[in-house]
């Protein structure tokens, strides 16, 4: 029997953007308010999970042709790399720096190398969660 889940799919199409926005918000604001790479990554992964639930895995994987094992590896690599880069500047491993810049659109903005590290964390979390869920769903 073919289940017609058009309502779920329609709602998903809208809600996914809200969740993704939320994820990006949590990620970006993590330094100054609750959130950060870990939570941001989890929320982003949950958006993907919702997509997997509403549509089937194959459809989504065709649209987002990413190997999530690679995503996790890239995330871990970025996190380690930020640490290694700090060695080139003659400071201890994983030293972070930040500064304020006058950007054309945003005005005075604080940019920190921590964000790159957080990006690594977020990517690793997304990769890990999706890999786990996809492997299990394949087994079932």
With a CB cutoff of 8 Å and minimum separation 6, the contacts of 94 are: 82, 83, 86, 117
Among 30, 44, 51, 60, binds another protein (CB under 8 A): 30
CB nearer another protein, residue 54 or residue 117: 117
Among 35, 47, 51, 60, binds another protein (CB under 8 A): 35
Contact between 24 and another protein (CB under 8 A)? Answer: no
Among 19, 23, 43, 54, binds another protein (CB under 8 A): 43
Cα–Cα distances (Å) from 85 to 14, 53, 80, 126, in that order, read 40, 40, 9, 24
* Residues in the chain, overall count: 140
Q: For residue 107, give the DSSP letter.
A: E
CB nearer another protein, residue 4 or residue 12: 12
Contact between 126 and another protein (CB under 8 A)? Answer: no
Select from 45, 47, 25, 46 the least CA-distant residue to 36: 25
Give how many residues touch another protein by CB under 8 A: 45
CB nearer another protein, residue 10 or residue 41: 41
Among 37, 47, 51, 52, binds another protein (CB under 8 A): 37
| Cβ atoms of residues 16 and 47 within 8 Å | yes
């Amino acid at each position: 029997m073919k289940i017609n889940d058009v309502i779920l799919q329609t709602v998903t199409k809208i809600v996914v953007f809200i969740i993704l926005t939320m994820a990006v918000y949590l990620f970006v604001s993590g330094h100054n308010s609750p959130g950060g790479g870990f939570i941001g990554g989890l929320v982003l992964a949950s958006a993907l999970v919702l997509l997997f639930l509403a549509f089937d895995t194959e459809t989504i994987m065709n649209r987002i042709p990413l190997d999530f094992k690679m995503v996790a590896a890239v995330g871990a690599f970025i996190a380690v790399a930020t640490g290694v880069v700090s060695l080139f500047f003659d400071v201890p491993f994983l030293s972070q720096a930040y500064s304020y810049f006058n950007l054309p659109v945003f005005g005075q903005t604080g940019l920190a190398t921590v964000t790159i590290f957080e990006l690594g964390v977020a990517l690793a979390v997304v990769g890990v969660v999706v890999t786990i869920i996809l492997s299990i769903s394949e087994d079932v």
